[in-house]
Structure 1
C-alpha cells in the first residue's frame, strides 16, 4: 500500500468512527431478454400491463422490444436496492404469461438480425428519436450485438465525505463541484487501470449460442461445445470482448478520462463530426429515417465504455452539457455481466464489494493516463475477458509482466482496508466480508462465475441455451409465485396506468415536425454550457 493511501485511510478512520460521513448511494439498472417457452427471443410487444416503456420510471426496454430494463431508485442500503429489484421481477412475471426472462448476458437463440425487434416508443418526437437512434445502431453494427444484457451499477459518494477529502487535500479554495468532478475522474482512471479485476471476479459469459454468429465463421478464440454452443475455455466475459460492445470507429476517440473538459470536448466532437462509412449508409431512405445523422456518434449514448461519469440532465440538456454545467454527480459502472447462478443476476455481496472497490479507486493516487498506458489498459482488459482463467496469463503493470493472482491479491488487501472504513456505519463487517469472499477466487479460477458456468456445461454436457432455459424456468417459478411487498405491488400497478397517460400527453402536446425537432436538438447539443462561454 502506498504511503499516501495509508495516510488518507488513517485520517478518515476517526471521522468514520464518529459517523461523520454517510453511506454510499447506489442504484441498479438490470437488463433481461424476454424469451418464449422454447428459449427464443420474444417477438411480442412489451406487455402493456407493465406500463409505457417511454415514461415508466422503473420498467422500460433497452435496444430491443424484448430487452426489459429494470431501474431501481437510489438507496443507501444495498439490501433495499435488491428488495426493490426483486419485486420488479415478481411484478413482471405476473404479466408475462408463458414467457420467461433470460438469465444470461449473451442472448437466447436468435434467427438472424431481424429476429431482434427494435423497441417502439410511440409516435411522439421523443419516441421517434429513440426508435431512429436504434435503427441507426442497426445499420452501423447490426441488431444482434444489441441483444446482449448486463447490470449497470450507479454510485455516488456522500457530500460530507467530499468535504472531508477536500479538507484533507488542502483544497478548501476549490469549488466543491470542481473538486468533486476532478476526484471522480481520478476514480475513473483508477477504475480503468484495474477493471480487469471486476471482469475476472464477476464475468459470467464464457459461452454463447451459435446463432449469435449468423455468418457461420467461428473466431479463433472460440471452440465448439456440442452442436449449438461455442465457448472460450478460459474466458470470463465474452460480453465485454470484441464479440460484444466494442466498436473500432469509437476506439479512435481515445478517451482516457483525464479531465472533464477533455471528456466533454471529445464527445461533442464525435457527435458533430461526419464519418465516411456512416455517410455512405445514408441518413434517410425512401422508407424513412435510417439513422439520426452520419456522425461518429449519433448521440452521446452511443459511446461504449465500461464506466461513465454522469449527472441527471434537465429537459433541455444532453448528458455532457449537464456534466459541463454542474459537474459529475455519480458514476455508472457498465462492465458487470448478469450472473445466471444468482436469482437477480447480482447479489448484495457483489454490491458491497464493488462499493469498496470504487472507494479504493477514489482514495488511491490516480495520475493522468498517457497514450501508452491507455493501450496497456485496453490490452489487460482484452486478455482477461478472453482468457482470464488461464494459469499462464500475465498482465502488464508499469510496463512489466505481472501475474493476475498476485496483482489481484495485492489489490484485495488494499480494498479490504478501505472496506473497514465503510463498515464503521454497519452492523458487523459486510464490506470486509464481501472482500473476503473474493479472495479464494484468485487462488482457484473455478470458483468464479465464469468457471462455475463452464464446469456446468462441461460436466453435464449441456448446451448453453438449454442450460440457461432451465435456469430461466426455475427463476420464473420462484418469482411468479413468491411473496411481493403489497405496497410495491400497488405502486407498480399505479405506475403502469399513469405512465400510459403520460405517454399520451406527450404525444398530444407535440406541435413540431420531427425534422425540426431533431434539428433543434442537435443545435442545442453543440452548445457549450460553461457559464459565461459563448456557444460553439
Structure 2
C-alpha cells in the first residue's frame, strides 16, 4: 500500500484563510489573455509563401491579428478576460474571421512545422518601411543569422495570467506585509511563483506536450539524425517516449544564452542579467557583421539583440510605455503579469487550447504562488534543466526518474503529490465559481499520470501509427477538418464589425507611422539602444520623478 499523500499544512492554512474573502467576492478572479500561433499552409501541407493577407489588416499595428517570426506564422492576441470561456470565444472569432479571408490555405494545428524546403522556405515577416517596422524585420534577420529560420517556424500558445489587485491586497494583509510597498511585494511574490513554476514545469510538458514527431524536412540537409529520433515513415521522425520536441534541443535553443543562468531569484537580478546580455558583444555574432555594405544583417552583435530574444518557458511581464523596454517597465513599476510559454498547440482542438487546460494552468500557477519557494541555487538550476529535458525527450517512459530535493521519483509519484496539493488551491478558485471547474479539470487530467497513453503526445503517435505514419498528412487532414468547423462557427456581430473596421484602421495607422519618421534607421537604433541601457529603477531616478 502506498503511503497516503499529505498536503503541507501551511498551504492548507493559507487556503482556509482566503476562502471566506473569496466567497464574499473580495478577492476577484484571475485574469488571462491568450497568444496563439499557427502557420498558414497550402493544399499540400507546405508552408505558405504568400504575404500576410491584406484583408486581415496591418500586422504592424493590428492589436489582435499579427505575425510572429515568419510572414506565414499567424499570431492571434486576445484581450484580457476574467473568464476562460470569454478568451476562447474571442480566439474562435479570430480564427473564423481569418478563414473568411484565406484562399486555399489552412492554419496548421501542430506546434512543429509543416513541410519545408530548406531554410529559405520560411519567409521572414515584413512590417513595412517605418523605423519600427524595419527594426522588427532586421531583428528577425538576425535570428536567421544566429539560429536559422526553421526553428522560428515552431508554434505554440502563450498564456498570460495576472492576479487582481484585491487578491494581492488580501495576501499582503494575511502575511502582515503591509509595510512593504505594494509593487515590491507583488513583484517578489510573482518571482516566487516563477521559481516554483520552474521547479515543476515538467508536469505541464508531460500533461500537454503534443509534439513527439517531426517532418523530416525540419532537419537541415546533411544534418546527422539525432539518436533520440527514429524513422516512422518516409517523411516523419519520432521519439518513442517524447512529449514535446518543440521544447527540446531540436526546438527553441540558444547555447550562448545558457551562460546567462537566469533562474529568476529576484527582479533586479533578472533585469540586470538581460541588460548585460543586450550590451555585451559575442565574438561569433561580431564575425557575422551588423551593417555590411548598407545591408542590415542583425540589430547588433550582442548576446541578445533585444530582450525578446531570451528564450524561457515563463517570463515576468509588464505592459511597457512609449520609449520603454520590457525590462525597464518591470524595473520602474514591477511585475504586472506572467507569461507561460511552454504550451504546445493541442492539434485535436480547433483553437489549440481548451478551457479545461486553462483551468488547470490557473490552478497550477496559483499553487506555485501559495507554495514555499526559496531561491534557486546554480546546482538546483542545473537539476531543473535536467528534469525538463528528460520529460521532454522521454516523459512517458515508465522507467524515468526525476530529481526531487536530492532524491529520485517517478513522474507519476511526483505528479500525484502535486495534484493533491493543487486540490486545495482548486477549492479556493472554485469558491467564486458556479460549480467546481478547477477541481473538475484536475479530476479529468489526473488519469494521465497513471496512464501515459492518455496524454496528447501518445494520442498523436497513436493516430500516426494508425494512419500511415506521416505527420504532415495527419496535421493537414486535421487542419482541413477544423477549418470547416471554424468557417461555419457563428461570430458575435459586434466583434465581426470591430475586426472589419480594424482592417482599414490598422493599415492607416501603419501609413501614419511611416509618414511620421524623421530620422534614419541607424539614428533610430542608436537612440533606442542608448535608452535601453538606462536603468529605470526608482533609486536611479531623479527625486522629482520618484515622488
Question: With structure 1 as the length reference, what TM-score do the two structures score?
Answer: 0.99
Alignment deviations for residues 274-326 of structure 1 (CA, whole Å, 9 cap, x no partner) = 00110111112236000000000000000000000000000110000000000
Alignment deviations for residues 312-352 of structure 1 (CA, whole Å, 9 cap, x no partner) = 00011000000000000000000000010111110100000
Structure 1 contact 203–336 (Cα < 8 Å) conserved? yes
Alignment counterpart, residue 429 of structure 1, candidates 420, 432, 436: 436
Partner of 1:16: 22
Partner of 2:305: 298
Alignment counterpart, residue 10 of structure 2, candidates 1, 4, 11: 4
Partner of 2:228: 221
Residue 496 of structure 2 is aligned to residue 499 of structure 1: no
Deviation at 1:77, TM superposition (A): 0.4
Deviation at 1:3, TM superposition (A): 2.3
C-alpha distance in structure 2 between counterparts of 1:62 and 1:287, whole Å: 26
Alignment deviations for residues 233-266 of structure 1 (CA, whole Å, 9 cap, x no partner) = 1000000000001111000000000000000000
Deviation at 1:168, TM superposition (A): 1.4
C-alpha distance in structure 2 between counterparts of 1:74 and 1:86, whole Å: 15
Partner of 2:47: 41
Residue 171 of structure 2 is aligned to residue 165 of structure 1: yes
Partner of 1:260: 267
Deviation at 1:482, TM superposition (A): 2.3
Partner of 2:416: 409
Residue 293 of structure 2 is aligned to residue 286 of structure 1: yes
1:168-247 equivalences in 2 (<5 Å): 168-216=174-222, 217-247=224-254
C-alpha distance in structure 1 between counterparts of 2:150 and 2:539, whole Å: 44
Deviation at 1:399, TM superposition (A): 1.6
Partner of 2:100: 94
Alignment deviations for residues 212-244 of structure 1 (CA, whole Å, 9 cap, x no partner) = 002342100100001000000100000000000
Partner of 2:453: 446
Partner of 2:545: none
Alignment counterpart, residue 151 of structure 1, candidates 137, 150, 157: 157
Question: With structure 2 as the length reference, what TM-score do the two structures score?
Answer: 0.97
C-alpha distance in structure 1 between counterparts of 2:377 and 2:176, whole Å: 26
Deviation at 1:15, TM superposition (A): 1.2
User: Does 72-81 or 158-167 show the bigger shift?
Assistant: 158-167
Deviation at 1:422, TM superposition (A): 0.6
Superposition RMSD on alpha carbons, in Å? 0.9
Structure 1 contact 356–419 (Cα < 8 Å) conserved? yes
Structure 2 contact 113–155 (Cα < 8 Å) conserved? yes
C-alpha distance in structure 2 between counterparts of 1:195 and 1:532, whole Å: 34
User: Does 213-222 or 55-64 show the bigger shift?
Assistant: 213-222
Deviation at 1:383, TM superposition (A): 0.2
Structure 2 contact 315–339 (Cα < 8 Å) conserved? yes
C-alpha distance in structure 1 between counterparts of 2:198 and 2:162, whole Å: 17
1:478-493 equivalences in 2 (<5 Å): 478-493=485-500
C-alpha distance in structure 1 between counterparts of 2:58 and 2:248, whole Å: 33
SS in 1 for 2:253: coil
Alignment deviations for residues 139-175 of structure 1 (CA, whole Å, 9 cap, x no partner) = 0000000000000000000111111111111111001
Alignment counterpart, residue 90 of structure 2, candidates 60, 84, 88: 84
Flag structure 2 segments of 5+ consecutive residues without an equivalent: 1-6, 543-547
C-alpha distance in structure 2 between counterparts of 1:18 and 1:299, whole Å: 44
C-alpha distance in structure 2 between counterparts of 1:17 and 1:72, whole Å: 28
Alignment counterpart, residue 520 of structure 1, candidates 515, 527, 543: 527
Flag structure 1 segments of 5+ consecutive residues without an equivalent: none
Deviation at 1:458, TM superposition (A): 1.4
C-alpha distance in structure 2 between counterparts of 1:311 and 1:428, whole Å: 32
Count of aligned pairs: 535
Structure 1 contact 19–424 (Cα < 8 Å) conserved? no
C-alpha distance in structure 2 between counterparts of 1:201 and 1:476, whole Å: 26
SS in 2 for 1:391: coil
Partner of 1:391: 398
Alignment counterpart, residue 71 of structure 2, candidates 59, 62, 65: 65
Partner of 1:313: 320
Structure 2 contact 467–474 (Cα < 8 Å) conserved? no
Deviation at 1:461, TM superposition (A): 2.5
Partner of 2:280: 273
SS in 1 for 2:457: helix
Structure 1 contact 185–257 (Cα < 8 Å) conserved? yes
Deviation at 1:534, TM superposition (A): 6.1
Deviation at 1:119, TM superposition (A): 0.1
SS in 2 for 1:266: helix
C-alpha distance in structure 1 between counterparts of 2:85 and 2:404, whole Å: 36
C-alpha distance in structure 2 between counterparts of 1:482 and 1:87, whole Å: 8
Residue 115 of structure 2 is aligned to residue 109 of structure 1: yes
C-alpha distance in structure 2 between counterparts of 1:460 and 1:123, whole Å: 46
Residue 482 of structure 2 is aligned to residue 472 of structure 1: no
SS in 1 for 2:316: strand
Residue 91 of structure 2 is aligned to residue 55 of structure 1: no
